[in-house]
Structure 1
Amino acid sequence: MKSMIHCGAAMLLSVFSFVALSFAESAEVGNQDKKQPAQKLSVAQARERATLTHQLYSATLDAMHQSYFINERAAVPARVMESMFTEVERRENIKARWIAVNARAMSVDHEPKTDFEKQAAEEIASGKVAYESVENGVYQRAGSISLMNHGCLTCHVGFGKKNTKDRFAGLIISIPVNEKKK
């Protein structure tokens, strides 16, 4: 499992480092291991970065399921990725968090807590691919994560239970921005 975390984290951090440099107005070289000061972006920049972050995490989750989570002999990839969320937040000031949408939460930490998260879960459950908001200098984007592949429903719905609709989880990405409200 440790090698899975290191491999996934290294892959994501490599991509995030490239992305951060491509977005940075004045990139500093070196000291990448230290926590970066909160860089304030425009809403458009944050939206672009959050969308890319969502795509990277989603692709990593799929790759980890296909390559490492074989016959349930390894840690659940979504749980392993929480270690990556912590590292990316430390290095890039991009927060990420899973939320339950229309299937059972596998952790009490994944229940929607804030008004934004509760509304995002409703929007995703109704078929929206993403939901966003800007409040108190933070851009938040909730994107859908399909639970319809890789055996996710076995745990999220229950073994042997018949599923009659598409099921989703949500991935919340939060990035500091210059604007206070949208």
Structure 2
Amino acid sequence: MLKRTLISGLLMAVVAAGSWMAFAGETAAQDGKGKVAAKDVAVERARREVRMLDDIYKTAIVLVTEHYVKTDTDLAAGSAFKALFDAVGEKGWHKARLVDATGQPYNDLNLPKEGFEKKAIAEILAGKPSYDQVVTEDGKRYLLAATAIPVVMEKCIMCHENYRTVEKGKAIGAISYKVPVQE
């Protein structure tokens, strides 16, 4: 039991550190035209929010998988979190979704959308832990961000056999975020 708890804790620490490092030290965001803007306090605040959300979501997915997913008939953590992402989005806080990076999604709805998500997945597959961009829609700015998801547990392979051949540490997907920039 202690060994299992230590392994869970280690996995959470790795996921949390990776999430934080994905954005640490970045001080500029790309605008919708791919140009880098000067440091922007509101955008930095949105980045911090994404780091926090990413840490919470990834830590929770590992905990749910570790403690509640026992067989391939149990509700997968990914499915539970898709429902959570939808509920949070409907309440107007932010939008988040799982995006496939393998080309063999569990569900075709997880394929990257044209534009930002395809660019983000390309950057993540090239080795970047994250990618972000600021966009303006109807006069309001949003931070679009994507953070890499590697396979961190053997249980992931219960539902995703195709992940078995993925090189250790390589991203199999991303969480894509759309966070309002609070001016």
| TM superposition score normalised by structure 2 | 0.67
- 1:64–1:77 Cα contact (<8 Å) kept: yes
Question: Take 1:162 and 1:129, find their aligned partners in 2: how far apart are those partners?
Answer: 20
Q: Within 2, Cα distance between the matches of 1:50 and 1:167?
A: 18
Q: CA deviation at 1:92?
A: 5.3
CA RMSD of aligned residues (A): 2.3
Q: Distance in 1 between matches of 2:45 and 2:165?
A: 42
1:39-78 per-position Cα deviation (integer Å, ceiling 9, x unaligned): xx92111110011101110001100100111122311111
Alpha-carbon distance between aligned partners in 2 of 1:59 and 1:108, rounded to the nearest angstrom:
25
| Number of residue equivalences | 138
Name the % identity.
22
- After TM superposition, list the pairs within 5 Å mapping 1:1-182 onto structure 2: 42-91=42-91, 93-102=93-102, 104-136=104-136, 137-158=141-162, 162-164=165-167, 166-177=170-181
- Which deviates more, 44-53 or 170-179? 170-179
- C-alpha deviation, 1:110, in angstroms: 0.5
Gaps of at least 5 residues in structure 1 are: 1-40
Instruction: Measure how far apart 1:102 and its partner are.
Output: 2.7
Q: Deviations over 1:64-119 (max 9, x none)?
A: 10011112231111111112112222345211011011352111110001311001
Aligned AA for 1:168? Answer: I
User: Closer, same or farther in 2 for the Cα pair 1:103/1:59, shift >3 Å?
Assistant: farther
Q: Secondary structure at the match of 1:149?
A: coil
Cα distance, 1:150 vs structure 2? 3.3
- What residue ranges of structure 2 are gaps of 5+ in the alignment? 1-40
Secondary structure at the aligned position of 1:88 is classed as helix
| Counterpart secondary structure, 2:162 | coil
Query: In 2, are the aligned partners of 1:103 and 1:157 still within 8 Å (CA)?
Result: no
**Conserved? CA contact 2:42–2:181, under 8 Å:** yes
Distance, in Å, in 1 between the alignment partners of 2:172 and 2:165 is: 16
Say whether the 8 Å CA contact 2:72–2:158 is kept in structure 1.
no
TM-score (norm 1): 0.67
SS state at 1:84 partner: helix
Query: 2-side partners of 1:119 and 1:67: how far apart?
Result: 34
2:166–2:172 contact (8 Å) kept in structure 1: no
Q: Which moved more, 1:149-158 or 1:136-145?
A: 149-158
Q: Structure 1 residues 115, 141: closer, same or farther in 2, change over 3 A? A: same
User: Contact 2:151 / 2:172 at 8 angstroms: preserved in 1?
Assistant: yes
